[in-house]
Amino acid sequence: MRKLCILIILFALVQGLDAQPKVNSPYSRFGLGDFFSTDYIAVSSVGGTSASYTDPYHVNQGNPASLGYLRATSFEVGVNARRTHLSEPSQSVNRWAGNLSYLSLGFPLINPINEVLERKQKPLHLGMNFSLMPYTNVGYNIEDQTTLAEVGTLSRQYRGAGGTYKVQWNNGLKYKDFAVGLNLQYLFGNMTYTRQVDFPDQYSYSDVYEDIVGVKGILWNFGAMYDIALDRATAKANEKQPEKIVTVGLTLHSKQSIRTRSNALYRRVFATSEALIDTISYQDDLAGDGTLPGGYSVGISYRNGFKWRAGINFVSESWSNYKNDAKPELLNDAWMLSFGIGYRPDINAFNRFLQTVDYRLGFRVGRDPRVYNGDPLNEYAITLGIGVPFFVQRKISFMNAALEIGRFGQPDVLKNSYIQLNVGFTLNDDEWFLKRKFN
C-alpha cells in the first residue's frame, strides 16, 4: 500500500505541474483568482453538500466535525483535467488545463477494532486530518488592439500567473449523536500581474508594468453536526446500529486577517529586443494587510446505511468585507446552493460488480464574489460521479470519478463553459492505533 501511495503522489504532482501553465481564465484577474473546489471528489460529485456529509471511509474537508465519523485511515489524492470554451460575441477559443486537486491523510485516533476486541461500544470518537490543496489560481493572457490615427496600432497585453494554496490541519470529535470540529489552515502563495503597452507599427519602446503579490495567513473554520436516527427503536431491538439517519450540519468562520508582500517594477524596453531603456519605478518588499470574509454553510442530509444518500447545502460568504492593500478592489457577497443524491444497490454483492458501485448526481448554482462592469458572475454546474470499491491487501479502498459540466461568467460579455473530469483514489487502512492483545 505504501508503494502504491508513493506512485500516485508522484503521478499527481507531475500531472499538476505539467498542466498548470495552460490555464487561461480572464476572470482570474480579479480578487485572488479563480477558486478551486474545497470538496474532495466523493463530496463534490453529490453537488458539494459538505456541511452534513459523513462517511466512514472518506474524508469530508468541508466540515471538520465529520472526522468524528471516520472509521479507517484514509489516504486520498485527486487530479483533474478541464476543457474550457471561452466565448464572447465576436470570437471564441478552447483551452485544456489540469492540476493536482488535493493530497490528504485522515485517521481515527480511536480505532473501532479496539471496541470489537474489548466488546465495548464507546460513545466517543476522534479523528484528525492533514491536507494540501490549491485555493485560487491566476492564469490569463489577453491582448487588446486599437487603431490610432497618429501612431497606428496600439496593443495592450495583460498576463497573469500564480495562485494560492492551503495546508490544513483538521480535528473532529463525535460524542454519541453530536460532533464538533476545528479546521486550521495556512494560506500562502504568489501571483504575478503584468501589463504591457506596445506600438507594433512603430519602431518604438514598450512600457511593461509588473506587480508581484505574495499572500499568507492563518485561517480557521468551525463545524458541528447532529444525527437524528429514524429507526433507533427498531435497531436497538435487533441489537444493531441505526441506518436511517438525518444529519444536520453547520460550519462558520469570522473575518480573518492576511498579510501581503508586493513588488512593483515598471520599466521601458525596446519593442524588438526587450532591452532595458529605463526603469520608471521600482518598489520592493512592500508590506500590507488584508481581510478575507466571514461566512457560513448549513446543510441537511439523509442516508440509509450504504444504500441511499441525499442532501441539500447552502453557503454564504461576505466578500464585500474583502480587503487587500497590495491589490485593492471591491467584491460582492457570494452564495452557493447545491443538491446531491447517491445510490449504491448493494455494497456486499462482491460477485456482482455493478451492484457495489456508488452512483452519484449533484447540481449547484451560485454567485461568485467578483464583478465585471458592475454585474455579478454567476455559476451553474451539474456533476455525475461514481465510487468504485476495490481491495488492497484485503482492505477496502475506492476509486472516485466525477464528470462536471458547468458555465461561469456573464453570457453576454464573456462566457466560460467547461467540462471537467475529476479522478481520485481513497486508500483505507484499519490497523492504525490498534491495541495488540496477546494471550
From the centroid of its chain, how far is CA 74? 18
Q: Does pLDDT of 10 surpass 60? A: no
| Mean local confidence (pLDDT), 4-20 | 46
Q: Which residues of 365-374 are buried (b: 16+ CB within 10 A; e: fewer)?
A: bbbbbbbbee
Confidence band for 434, pLDDT divided at 50, 70 and 90: low
Q: How many CB atoms lie within 10 A of CB 116?
A: 10
Q: pLDDT at position 229, please?
A: 93
Q: Is 44 in contact with 421 (CB distance < 8 Å)? A: no
Judged by average pLDDT, the poorest of 143-147, 275-279, 415-419 is 275-279
Confidence band for 432, pLDDT divided at 50, 70 and 90: confident
- Quote the CA–CA distance of 187 and 193 in Å, as a whole number: 19
Confidence band for 116, pLDDT divided at 50, 70 and 90: low
Judged by average pLDDT, the poorest of 1-10, 62-71, 225-234, 331-340 is 1-10
Q: Does pLDDT of 9 surpass 70? A: no
| Mean local confidence (pLDDT), 281-289 | 90
Map residue 64 onto helix, strand or coil.
Answer: helix
81-91 pLDDT, tens digit each: 999 988 887 78
48 is written with which cell numbers? 458539494
61 is written with which cell numbers? 474537508
Q: Does pLDDT of 21 surpass 60? A: no
Strand partners, 132: 103, 167
Judged by average pLDDT, the poorest of 10-24, 96-110, 236-250, 400-414 is 10-24
Q: pLDDT at position 16, please?
A: 45
Q: pLDDT at position 239, please?
A: 73
341 is written with which cell numbers? 443524491
Of the chain, the percentage scoring pLDDT greater than 90 comes to 62
Q: Which residues of 71-84 are buried (b: 16+ CB within 10 A; e: fewer)?
A: bbbbbbbbbbebeb
Q: pLDDT at position 118, please?
A: 67
- Quote the CA–CA distance of 199 and 184 in Å, as a whole number: 50
For the chain, what are the domain ranges? Answer: 2-429
| Mean local confidence (pLDDT), 3-31 | 59
Q: pLDDT at position 4, please?
A: 46
253-263 pLDDT, tens digit each: 999 999 999 99
Q: pLDDT at position 14, please?
A: 46
Q: pLDDT at position 112, please?
A: 76
241 is written with which cell numbers? 446500529
Q: pLDDT at position 290, please?
A: 94
| Mean local confidence (pLDDT), 375-403 | 91
Sign (positive/negative) of CA torsion 275, 189, 161, 290?
negative
Q: Does pLDDT of 37 surpass 60? A: yes
CATH topology of domain 2-429: Porin (2.40.160)
* CA 273 to each of CA 195, 207, 211: distance values in angstroms, whole numbers, following the listed order: 18, 13, 22
By residue count, the chain amounts to: 439
Q: pLDDT at position 155, please?
A: 85
Q: Is 151 in contact with 158 (CB distance < 8 Å)? A: no
51 is written with which cell numbers? 456541511
